[in-house]
Amino acid sequence: ASPWTVPQFSAAKQQGRKLTVLTAYDFTWAQLLDEIGIDAILVGDTLGMVVQGRNSTLRVTVDQMIYHAEMVVRAVKQALVIVDMPFMSFHVSPEQAMENAGRLIKETGAAAVKLEGGVNQAGTIAKLTGADVPVMAHVGLKPQSVLSIGGYKVQRAKQPLLDDALAAQEAGAFAIVLECVPREIAAEITATLTIPTIGIGAGPDCDGQVLVTNDMLGLTPGFTPKFLKKYADLRNTVETSVRNYIQETRDNSFPDDSHSFHE
């Protein structure tokens, strides 16, 4: 198969083909997800949490996004790679957004950028898409708005959600993330838009789903929002493996002769 393109990604909606998206932040994980057959890989600014150990995404920089996205792009052969624009990298002006989106694309080889916003960022989305930078929008719960929202909460105001989604589509976004919105509202937005909706905490009626890979594989202890399904308990797998290594090293059963060189 040839690599995913942005138009193919958008067209999947009309074909009734559900879109699968996961995050990756480095070569190892991007290569694995790509080989398994994920449709798109998001280099999310959630790296502020899962890689950097911070309690929000707010301090992530454009340079850090470039560092991670470049490693991801190098690993990927099929998936569409989308890079998040971090907090304050597009808020100052459409010109600032243009410069930073240009860097994110040119210095990594990613196919598209994602930014949080709808009505409030429509001008910026139009500016970017007008310059042939594909934009995925992100509405509903916008984690970069955590200070003004006062926490990570389900967004239930229907008309503003519909307005944001439509504004993003009209500004030229090729797809839209819906985060933490009631499933009924996500279903209505999905039925209204011509571009695909990618849900996280937005129910089953979206055109696709996205999760943070570390969360769905059970690598983020204590993070248990209702929308998250844990498909594995990798912490447990790692714990067992590392305990065995420590034990076998201490009792001298590792390495044995089969893991040793001979003269």
- Sequence-distant (≥ 6) Cβ neighbours of residue 133 within 8 angstroms: 98, 101, 102, 105, 112, 113
**SS3 (DSSP) at 112:** strand
Q: Based on the shown chain and the rule CB under 6 A, indicate whether residue 45 belongs to the binding site for ligand KIV.
A: yes
Q: Confirm whether 95 is a catalytic residue.
A: no
Cα 101 to Cα 83: distance, rounded to the nearest angstrom: 9
220 binds ligand KIV (CB under 6 A): no
Q: Where is 8: in which H helix or E strand?
A: helix 6-11
From the list 35, 95, 179, 239, the catalytic residue is 179
Per residue in 216-248, is it b (16+ CB within 10 Å) or e — as a string?
bbbbbeeeeeebbeeeeebeeeeeeeeeeeeee
Rounded to whole angstroms, the Cα distance separating 177 from 196 reads 9
Nearer to ligand KIV, 13 or 68 (CB): 68
Cβ pair 180, 201 in contact under 8 A = yes
Q: How many helical (H) and strand (E) elements, i.e. helices and strands, does the chain have?
A: 11, 8
**237 assigned to a ligand binding site:** no
44 binds ligand KIV (CB under 6 A): yes
In DSSP terms, 112 is beta-bridged to 82
Q: Is 45 annotated as ligand-binding? A: yes
Comparing CB distances to ligand KIV, the nearer of 22 and 75 is 22
User: Which of the listed partners (Na ion, ligand KIV, none) does 164 bind, with a CB threshold of 5 to 8 Å by partner kind?
Assistant: none
Q: What is the closest distance, in whole angstroms, from the C-beta atom of residue 138 to ligand KIV in the complex?
A: 6
Residues in binding contact with ligand KIV, number by CB under 6 A:
11
Question: Can residue 42 be called a binding residue for ligand KIV (CB under 6 A)?
Answer: yes
Scanning 44-52, 66-74, 94-102, 228-236 for contacts with ligand KIV by CB under 6 A, the matching segment is: 44-52
> How remote is the C-alpha of 127 from its chain's centroid?
22
Residues near Na ion, by CB under 5 A:
44-45, 84
With b for 16 or more beta-carbon neighbours within 10 A and e for fewer, the 188-198 pattern comes to: bbbeebebbbb
Which residue, 46 or 169, is less far from ligand KIV as judged by CB?
46
Query: Is 114 marked as binding a ligand?
Result: yes
44 or 196, CB closer to Na ion?
Answer: 44
DSSP state of 88: T
Contact track, ligand KIV, 143-182, x by CB under 6 A:
----------------------------------x-----
Binding partner at 85 among ligand KIV, Na ion, none, C-beta below 5 to 8 Å by kind:
none
Give binding residues for Mg(2+) as ranges: 45, 84, 116
Rule CB under 6 A: which residues touch ligand KIV? 23, 42, 44-46, 84, 138, 177, 200, 210, 212
User: Which residues line the annotated binding site?
Assistant: 45-46, 84, 114, 116
Catalytic residues: 179
